[in-house]
């Protein structure tokens, strides 16, 4: 591998010192084996031994030649210089350099050491005043020690008000000089007194040499005698960086990197009774369902499992949302239940029969697949049961209260029905290839005629009075599908017209009799019986998401009315129906079970992780629901996610690590502490901690797909075969299971539970777990889970007491300002020195300063304010909560707090620049009243914000880390804390979010005019083109000023964004179809957009020449092309509205290869406003889904624009 290195000021491509260090580390480790460099490495930089040193440019001096050749110090190494062929001048110059070297060497060899006693004395003295590091051979002499001390001080934390540098004081006595060296307050060593010397210059050198020795002993200088900027972890933190062998790709804990991980098996659902034929004992958990509509009744169910669930898992409640109604499901523990061998057989058969009949298929194989059609339960069904997924879901008798009464008659009826189908499965075979076989129902022994007087209907397995048919659950023996009878249609029989009954214009079948004969090869024996009107069964739905709040008008939602989709029913002869002696309420409850079990399984998994964390402690009680929230991402589309807990956990982690480092390393300065904290809380560290404890297997990162949910005994209807290349359920942490491919879908799992996760999701989950434990059990619980994770953040009360004791022994000079500031803060310090230290800027050159307390106070304020916002704003989305924290926890806000309470007057410093800047800022702050927004370009000096943070840090230590007490003291100082309705976003971001919600685009132009940046923003409305301009030295500030101009212009035009805390008007009723914009997660913040004035003059946005575009016809291609076109030309986003069409008979949808049959089609209409030209409308073709219909409409729009000369379609892919 090849790399290069230059000096820090050599050219535009020069490397910063940090990059130089990384390059040298790569060269030392062997990762880089060929290094190109300038003459920066001739001295002052330690380069490891090299085999070859090749110099392309001729050295200009003997010194340069010797230094370059000195890099080839390894045994058998070679030093090569390149000369231009035929260049006599270069050759003579090289010979002169070599001759000069030989001359110096000979002079040194021939010198008589006895000829000059002074020279010998000086020489001997110089050799003894050198410090050599045994490990590396690096050395520093008395002469070079002074520059090394200056270099070390330059690496210490400082700012524009103070530059760290050494201070020398000399004293003389009896002709000898002593030098006292005072290093900056944040140095590892404060004061050193050197040995007596004959002159002040030598005294200064010797004291610096002694300082180098001590700094090396304390680790401030490394073994190469260079300042240690980032110290080793010393087991306090985990090494930062990419995984070994990760290459140049994205590192661990980043969003860009995706990793393949498995899913942890739920131990509570494991069972060993699947293969047994004898009796078994189960733990029983009763499911009760209560609908908000009293007349709607659901049957109870019981869950039978081998393991006992935790109390908060086995006794829980949840809401299930259906169309127009809500069902509250409650789970309660009912002790243990014993089932004998016969009951076990029937229970398993019921589960196999009903879940496959309702959500799967009871018949496998078909003529199209070439496999013979067979009844699923014909042979042994052991393959449908897995030991890792074993439980029974059985119906309960209605009106059963506390007593657990399983509905055995219904279970037995399903068992008999399964036996009937097993014996008569040929009745359901498809039409044969004209072999003359015509299966019929004679085997049932049913009468051939239908007696109208007795009103008895003959079904496949029984006879039923026609008056008692309503809500009877039946199964079609030719398809294996389950239905519910609505009524017997007295005027329709199997001999009635097929086309008229199914509402189709034409049909190849004249009657139902003909339909079943030709399609299924079934000869109806009772064609005179009335047809049954049946309600179809349907796929399970995700009932955990309240879809009633989406796409529903405000008036309808307030009235509790939801427009329910029209229902389609089927007609069927009764002799093809098998009556199931099961109440319809059982059937309705079965649709609730997939969502209920999914949530219950998630709680079981959360409890499993909780038990693993709490294995060493029984005193910490964290609800499983809180753990589940910490494991759930936004992709799950639940009403909760880890985002808020992650925000809180981030602050808790930062605070705990900051306190631990502050207490453990009393002699380390703020820069060293910050480096260690960054290392401990960075995403790569958290990722490693999470994967070490296998947290990735517990994370829920995909929305519940009820079609893929299967109960034990149910055959998978939508399999996703594993193609991950992993034989085990757990995926190894290997580079080959990492990718940055944007095409890889995150959150979708295969049948073995393997799924791709964003690497950062694991880091976020770790923080969310810390937040969950803190929220439920306080700081003690949070520290416990951090310890379990491997984060060293212990807060020892004895260490806190020692810090307080040491501070109380420090010299404190009584000062009236201390009492004055105590009255302003509202707290009297027990140890006054803490406050004195918190007020002292490093420029005062005292033996202390506020930097360490500022480091502590920063984390304290972050935690306290985040916790306050979390508790007081429970209904806002995580993104807005983050914005509130950012607006509250920043240096500018703290600087305003300092000025508002006159704390700035007590800052002790010796910087004229700081004093002037504070005065200017105070004047600007005073002049701005409450109605005027402070100019964003005016920023308070950082020292003012640091002052507030250091005071809070001092209060924390003085109160023995009592967070509650600190908050009671600090809250009045910080008030008023920003609220959602007072939140002010940065102007540029506010403009972007407003335009996104309106469907407008912004074009940005930035030019440098001397030292000033000119920013210009263009915004095309429906009729006007707005221009905003801003000037500033900073590009960001200039863009902010330009955005502010546009926001004021939009507000004057009646276009504004207003946040409302309650009862926001949901504008989603006007958004009846997918947005044209590509799928991007939108913020959940609701906004009320008011358009008050549209009567403005038109502004032409039509391009002078047609735009050339390339259209991709694959799904999403036309929409993306149109979107990019509008963005390029600043046209407002077009609107798309899809209309759904349904038919009870199959209809042809689409054209060409995409042509297929279906019952539902969509037609989309698109409207595009071309500013200054026209409003264009296009309607697409009918398609089977909304997105395809939107693509069709977008494609028609592109063709229309081409006909009008607005664009040229160069190619269609």
Return the C-alpha torsion angle 654, 655, 657, 663, nearest 10.
Answer: 150
What residues pair up with 386 in beta bridges, in sequence order?
A: 389
pTM for this structure?
Answer: 0.80
Predicted pLDDT of residue 549: 59
- Over residues 521-531, the pLDDT tens digits come to 889 998 989 99
Mean pLDDT of 709-734: 90
Could you give the residue ranges of the DSSP H alpha helices within 683-830?
683-692, 759-789, 797-808, 816-825
- Over residues 350-390, the pLDDT tens digits come to 999 999 999 988 888 766 666 777 888 887 888 889 999 99
CB atoms within 10 A of CB 374: 15
Q: How far is CA 257 from the centre of its chain?
A: 12
Q: Is the pLDDT score of 695 beyond 60?
A: yes
How sure is the predictor about 838, in pLDDT bands with cuts at 50, 70 and 90? Answer: very high
CB atoms within 10 A of CB 335: 10
Q: Is the pLDDT score of 967 beyond 50?
A: yes
CA gap 732, 533 in Å, rounded? 55
- Over residues 768-777, the pLDDT tens digits come to 999 999 999 9
Q: Which two tokens stand for residue 347?
A: 């229970």
Q: Please name the residue that has the structure tokens 């995580």.
A: 878
Ramachandran bin of 325, using left for φ above 0, alpha for ψ from -120 to 50, beta for the remaining angles: beta
Out of 51-65, 420-434, 956-970, 1003-1017, the most confident range is 956-970
Q: Is the pLDDT score of 233 beyond 50?
A: no
Mean pLDDT of 1126-1139: 87
Q: Which two tokens stand for residue 22?
A: 């990384």
CA gap 955, 716 in Å, rounded? 62
Q: How many residues does the chain have?
A: 1213
Q: Report whether 1042 contacts 1016 (CB < 8 A).
A: yes
Predicted pLDDT of residue 1102: 55
Q: Residue 365: which residues within 8 A CB-CB, separation 6 or more?
A: 371, 372, 373, 374
**9-13, 53-57, 1116-1120, 1133-1137: lowest mean pLDDT where?**
9-13
% of the chain exceeding 70 in pLDDT: 83
Peptide bond into 952 cis (omega under 30): no
pLDDT averaged over every residue in the chain: 82
Query: What's the per-residue H, E or C state across 869-896?
Result: HHHHCCCCCHHHHHHHHHHHCCHHHHHH
Q: Is the pLDDT score of 1145 beyond 70?
A: no
Name which residue leads in pLDDT, 937 or 478.
478
- Compute φ and ψ for 976, nearest 5 degrees: -85, 135
CB atoms within 10 A of CB 256: 13
Q: Which two tokens stand for residue 1213?
A: 């892919």
Q: Residue 216: which residues within 8 A CB-CB, separation 6 or more?
A: 131, 133, 222, 223, 225
Q: Report whether 1115 contacts 1148 (CB < 8 A).
A: no
- Over residues 546-579, the pLDDT tens digits come to 876 544 333 333 333 334 455 668 899 999 999 9
Predicted pLDDT of residue 1213: 63
- Over residues 1060-1102, the pLDDT tens digits come to 333 343 433 333 344 333 333 333 333 333 333 333 333 444 5
Angle (nearest 5°) at CA 196 between 191 and 200: 80
Ramachandran bin of 316, using left for φ above 0, alpha for ψ from -120 to 50, beta for the remaining angles: beta
How sure is the predictor about 79, in pLDDT bands with cuts at 50, 70 and 90? Answer: confident
- What letter does residue 247 receive in the DSSP assignment? T
Q: Is the pLDDT score of 441 beyond 60?
A: no
Q: Report whether 1131 contacts 1170 (CB < 8 A).
A: yes
Mean pLDDT of 866-895: 91
- Over residues 112-155, the pLDDT tens digits come to 555 444 444 444 334 468 899 988 888 898 888 999 999 999 88
Tell the burial category of 860 from Cβ atoms under 10 Å away from its Cβ (0-12, 13-18, 19+).
buried
Could you give the residue ranges of the DSSP H alpha helices within 631-715?
643-664, 670-681, 683-692
SS percent in the chain: helix, strand, coil, step 5: 40, 20, 40
Q: Residue 119: which residues within 8 A CB-CB, separation 6 or more?
A: 113
CA gap 593, 287 in Å, rounded? 9
CA gap 1017, 1022 in Å, rounded? 17
% of the chain exceeding 90 in pLDDT: 39
Q: Which domains does the chain have, with CATH numbers?
A: 2-110 (3.40.50.300), 129-217 (3.30.160.20), 272-426 (no CATH), 442-586 (2.170.260.10), 621-789 (1.10.1520.10), 797-980 (1.10.1520.10), 985-1099 (3.30.160.20), 1101-1213 (3.30.160.20)
Q: Which two tokens stand for residue 1077?
A: 């914009």
**Edge-to-edge strands of the sheet including 473-476?**
569-572, 530-536, 482-493, 473-476, 577-580
CA gap 456, 652 in Å, rounded? 73
């Amino acid at each position: 591998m090849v790399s290069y290195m230059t000096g820090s000021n050599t050219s535009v491509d020069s490397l910063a010192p940090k990059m130089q260090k990384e390059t040298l580390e790569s060269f030392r480790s062997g990762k880089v084996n060929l290094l190109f460099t300038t003459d920066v490495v001739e001295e002052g930089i330690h380069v490891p031994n090299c085999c070859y040193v090749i110099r392309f440019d001729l050295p200009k001096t003997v010194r340069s030649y010797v230094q370059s050749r000195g890099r080839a110090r390894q045994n058998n190494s070679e030093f090569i210089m390149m000369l231009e062929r035929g260049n006599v001048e270069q050759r003579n110059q090289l010979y002169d350099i070599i001759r000069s070297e030989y001359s110096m060497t000979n002079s040194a060899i021939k010198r008589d050491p006895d000829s000059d006693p002074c020279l010998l004395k000086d020489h001997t003295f110089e050799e003894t005043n050198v410090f050599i590091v045994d490990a590396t051979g690096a050395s520093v002499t008395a002469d070079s020690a002074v520059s090394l001390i200056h270099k070390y001080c330059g690496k210490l934390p400082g700012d524009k008000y103070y530059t760290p540098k050494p201070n020398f004081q000399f004293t003389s006595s009896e002709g000898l000089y002593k030098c006292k060296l005072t290093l900056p307050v944040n140095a590892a060593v404060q004061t050193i007194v050197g040995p007596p010397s004959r002159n002040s210059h030598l005294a200064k050198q010797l004291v610096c040499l002694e300082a180098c020795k001590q700094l090396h002993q304390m680790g401030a200088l490394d073994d190469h005698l260079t300042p240690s900027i980032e110290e080793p972890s010393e087991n306090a933190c985990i090494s930062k960086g990419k995984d070994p062998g990760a290459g140049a790709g994205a590192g661990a804990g980043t969003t860009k990197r995706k990793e393949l991980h498995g899913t942890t098996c739920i131990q509570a659902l494991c069972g060993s009774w699947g293969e047994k034929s004898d009796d078994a004992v189960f733990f029983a958990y009763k499911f009760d369902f209560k609908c908000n509509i009293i007349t709607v009744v659901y049957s109870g169910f019981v869950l039978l499992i081998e393991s006992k669930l935790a109390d908060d898992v086995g006794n829980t409640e949840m809401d299930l949302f259906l169309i127009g109604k809500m069902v509250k499901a409650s789970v309660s523990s009912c002790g243990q239940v014993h089932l004998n061998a016969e009951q076990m057989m029937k229970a398993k058969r019921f589960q196999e029969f009903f879940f496959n009949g309702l959500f799967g298929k009871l018949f496998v194989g078909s003529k199209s697949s070439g496999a013979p059609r067979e009844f699923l339960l014909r042979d042994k069904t052991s393959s449908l049961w897995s030991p890792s997924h074993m439980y029974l879901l059985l119906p309960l008798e209605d009106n059963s209260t506390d007593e657990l009464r399983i509905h055995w008659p219904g279970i037995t009826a399903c068992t008999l029905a399964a036996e009937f189908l097993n014996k008569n499965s040929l009745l359901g075979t498809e039409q044969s290839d004209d072999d003359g076989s015509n299966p019929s129902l004679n085997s049932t022994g049913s009468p051939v005629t239908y007696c109208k007087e007795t009103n008895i209907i003959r079904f496949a397995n029984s006879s039923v009075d026609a008056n008692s048919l309503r809500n009877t659950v039946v199964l079609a023996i030719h398809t294996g599908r389950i239905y519910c009878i609505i009524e017997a249609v007295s005027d329709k029989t199997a001999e009635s017209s097929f086309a008229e009954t199914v509402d189709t214009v034409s049909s190849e079948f004249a009657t139902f009799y003909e339909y079943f004969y030709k399609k299924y090869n079934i000869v109806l024996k009772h064609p005179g019986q009335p047809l049954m009107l049946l309600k179809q069964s349907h796929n399970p739905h995700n009932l955990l998401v309240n879809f009633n709040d989406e796409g529903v008008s405000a008036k309808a939602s307030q009235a509790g009315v939801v427009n329910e989709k029209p229902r389609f029913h089927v007609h069927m002869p009764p002799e093809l129906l098998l009556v199931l002696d099961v109440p319809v309420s059982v059937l309705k409850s079965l649709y609730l079970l997939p969502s209920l079990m999914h949530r219950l399984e998630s709680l079981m998994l959360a409890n499993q992780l909780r038990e693993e964390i709490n294995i060493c402690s029984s005193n910490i009680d964290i609800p499983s629901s809180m753990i589940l929230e910490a494991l759930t991402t936004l992709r799950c589309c639940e009403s909760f996610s880890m985002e808020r807990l992650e925000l809180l956990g981030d602050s808790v982690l930062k605070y705990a690590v900051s306190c631990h480092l502050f207490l453990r390393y009393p002699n380390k300065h703020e820069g060293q502490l910050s480096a260690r904290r960054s290392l401990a809380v960075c995403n790569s560290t958290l990722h490693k901690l999470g994967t070490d404890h296998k947290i990735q297997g517990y994370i829920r990162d995909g929305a519940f797909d009820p079609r893929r949910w299967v109960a034990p005994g149910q055959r998978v209807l939508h399999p996703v075969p594993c193609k991950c290349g992993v034989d085990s359920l757990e995926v190894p942490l290997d580079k080959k299971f990492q990718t940055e491919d944007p095409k890889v879908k995150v959150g979708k799992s295969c049948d073995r539970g393997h799924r791709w996760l964003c690497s950062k999701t694991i880091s976020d989950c770790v923080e969310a777990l810390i937040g969950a434990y803190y929220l439920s059990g306080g700081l003690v619980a949070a520290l416990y889970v951090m310890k379990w994770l491997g984060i060293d953040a212990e807060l020892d009360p004895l260490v806190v007491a020692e810090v307080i004791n040491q501070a109380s022994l420090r010299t404190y000079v009584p000062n009236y300002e201390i009492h004055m500031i105590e009255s302003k803060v509202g707290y009297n310090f027990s140890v006054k020195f803490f406050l004195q230290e918190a007020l002292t800027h490093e420029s005062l050159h005292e033996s202390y300063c506020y930097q360490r307390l500022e480091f502590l106070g920063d984390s304290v304020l972050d935690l306290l304010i985040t916790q306050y916002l979390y508790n007081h704003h429970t209904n806002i989305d995580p993104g807005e909560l983050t914005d509130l924290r950012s607006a509250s926890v920043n240096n500018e806000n703290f600087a305003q707090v300092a000025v508002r309470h006159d704390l700035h007057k007590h800052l002790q410093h010796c910087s004229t620049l700081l004093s002037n800047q504070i005065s200017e800022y105070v004047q600007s702050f005073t002049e701005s009243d409450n109605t005027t927004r402070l100019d964003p370009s005016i920023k308070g000096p950082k020292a003012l914000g640091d002052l507030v943070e250091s005071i809070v840090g001092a209060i924390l230590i003085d109160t023995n880390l009592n967070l509650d007490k600190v908050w009671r003291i600090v809250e009045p100082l910080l008030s008023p804390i920003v609220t959602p309705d007072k939140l002010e976003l940065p102007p540029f971001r506010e403009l972007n979010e407003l335009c996104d919600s309106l469907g407008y685009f912004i074009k940005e132009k930035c030019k440098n005019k001397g030292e000033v940046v000119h920013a210009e923003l263009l915004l095309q409305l429906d009729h006007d083109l707005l221009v905003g301009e801003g000037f500033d030295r900073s590009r960001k500030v200039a863009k902010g000023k330009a955005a502010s101009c546009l926001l004021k212009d939009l507000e004057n035009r009646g276009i504004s964004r207003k946040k409302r805390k309650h009862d926001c008007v949901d504008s989603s009723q006007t958004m009846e179809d997918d947005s044209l914009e590509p799928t991007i997660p939108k913020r959940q913040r609701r906004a009320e957009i008011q358009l008050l004035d549209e009567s403005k003059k038109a502004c032409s946005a039509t391009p002078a020449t047609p735009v050339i575009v390339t259209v991709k016809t694959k799904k999403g291609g036309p929409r993306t092309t149109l979107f990019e076109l509008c963005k390029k030309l600043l046209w407002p986003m077009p609107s798309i509205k899809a209309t759904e069409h349904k038919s009870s008979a199959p209809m042809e949808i689409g054209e060409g290869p995409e042509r297929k049959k279906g019952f539902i089609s969509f037609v989309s209409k698109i409207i595009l406003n071309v500013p200054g030209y026209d409003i264009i409308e296009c309607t697409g073709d009918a398609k089977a889904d909304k997105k395809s219909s939107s693509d069709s409409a977008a494609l028609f729009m592109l063709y229309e624009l081409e006909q009008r000369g607005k664009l040229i379609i160069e190619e269609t892919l």
